[in-house]
Amino acid sequence: MSRFWHVRSARTATLLSTCIVLLGISTTSLVICLIRLDSGSWPSWVTGFLDSAKNIVWANNNLIAVAVGVAILGLLLFIVALVPGKHSTALLEWDSVDEQEEWVADNRGLANLARYEAERTDGVGGASPTLRGKRLHVSVFTPVHETSDISQSVQANVQKKLSAIPLAHSIRVSVKATTRGGQ
C-alpha cells in the first residue's frame, strides 16, 4: 500500500520558489535576447548593466564571490532534497500496511487539542503547544505567581486528553508556565 497521509515533506515550496526565481531570470533574459535579435540593439533599460558586464574579466574577485554564492545555493538545495523531511501526522494504532489501512492523526490537530485542553485549565491565560515527533511542549502563561501547580495541572490534563486517542506511539508532554499579567 502506498501511503497518502503519513509521508515526509515533498519540498514543494522550496522547489516552486527556486523555479519561480529561475523562471524570472530566464524569461527576462529571453525577452532581452529577442529584442536584440529583432531590433539590432539592446533595450535601453539594460544597456548600463551590459556595458559594465561586458568588461568583466576572469580574474575578478566579484566574479568568484558570485560564483561561490551560486555554488553554495546549489549545495543547499541539494542537501534539502536529500535530507528527509518530517512527518506532519502521527500513526494511530489501527494503522496497518498489511491490512491496507492508513490511520493517522494530524500533528497540527493534536497541537490544537493540547492548546484547547491547556487553556481550559484554571489559571491559564493562554497556551502555545509545539509538537515534535513524540514530544509535545506546551508553553502557558498565567497571571498567577506560583506556577508549579499550574504546570502540573496542565501537564496532567493534556496528557490525559492525548492518552484517550489511540495513537501508535505515546506522546510525552512537558509544560513550561510563565507569569504574565496579574498583580
Applying the rule CB under 8 A, the residues between 32 and 61 that interact with other proteins are 33-34, 36-37, 53-60
* Cα-only R_g, the chain: 27
Residues 117-156 that bind other proteins (CB under 8 A): 117
Residues in contact with 132: Cβ distance below 8 Å, sequence separation at least 6, in sequence order: 86
Does 183 bind other proteins (CB under 8 A)? Our answer is no
Between strands 135-142 and 172-179, the pairing is parallel
Closest distance to other proteins from the beta carbon of 75 (Å)? 5
Stretch that binds other proteins, among 7-15, 122-130, 148-156, 175-183 (CB under 8 A): 7-15
SS3 16: helix
Using the minimum distance from each CB to other proteins, give the nearer residue, 75 or 152.
Answer: 75
Residues 80-99 that bind other proteins (CB under 8 A): 80-82, 89, 92, 94
Does 168 bind other proteins (CB under 8 A)? Our answer is no
- Half-sphere exposure of residue 134: CA atoms within 13 angstroms, side-chain side: 9
Residue showing cell 522550496: 14
